[in-house]
C-alpha cells in the first residue's frame, strides 16, 4: 500500500472515530482497510508448519528401563 493510501486510511479512520465520517467515506475506509489487511496475504506463501500433537508428545517421553534393577 502506498504512502498516499496509508495517509488517506489514517485520515478516514480518525474521522470515523470522531463520528464525523460521511457514508461514502465510511465505505472508502472499509475498502482501504481491507486492502491494508490483505496486502501481503496473497503474495507471500505460508510459512506455517503443522505438527501432529501425538507425534510431538511421543518424542518427549522418557525411555522405559526394562532391566528392573
Confidence (pLDDT) at 62:
57
- Per-residue pLDDT tens over the stretch 15-64: 999 999 999 999 999 999 999 999 877 666 667 776 766 654 555 555 55
Confidence (pLDDT) at 51:
72
Buried b (16+ CB within 10 A) or exposed e, 3-30: eeeeebbeebeeeeeeeebeeeeeeebe
- Per-residue pLDDT tens over the stretch 1-26: 899 999 999 999 999 999 999 999 99
pTM of full prediction above 0.85: no
Domain ranges in the chain are 3-59
Cβ-in-10-Å burial (0-12, 13-18, 19+) of 1 comes to middle
Rg (CA), the chain: 25
Amino acid at each position: 500500500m502506498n504512502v498516499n493510501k496509508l495517509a488517506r486510511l489514517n485520515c478516514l479512520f480518525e474521522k470515523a472515530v470522531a463520528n464525523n465520517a460521511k457514508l461514502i467515506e465510511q465505505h472508502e475506509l472499509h475498502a482501504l482497510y481491507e486492502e491494508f489487511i490483505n496486502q501481503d496475504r496473497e503474495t507471500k506463501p505460508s510459512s506455517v508448519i503443522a505438527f501432529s500433537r501425538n507425534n510431538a508428545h511421543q518424542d518427549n517421553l522418557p525411555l522405559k528401563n526394562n532391566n528392573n534393577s
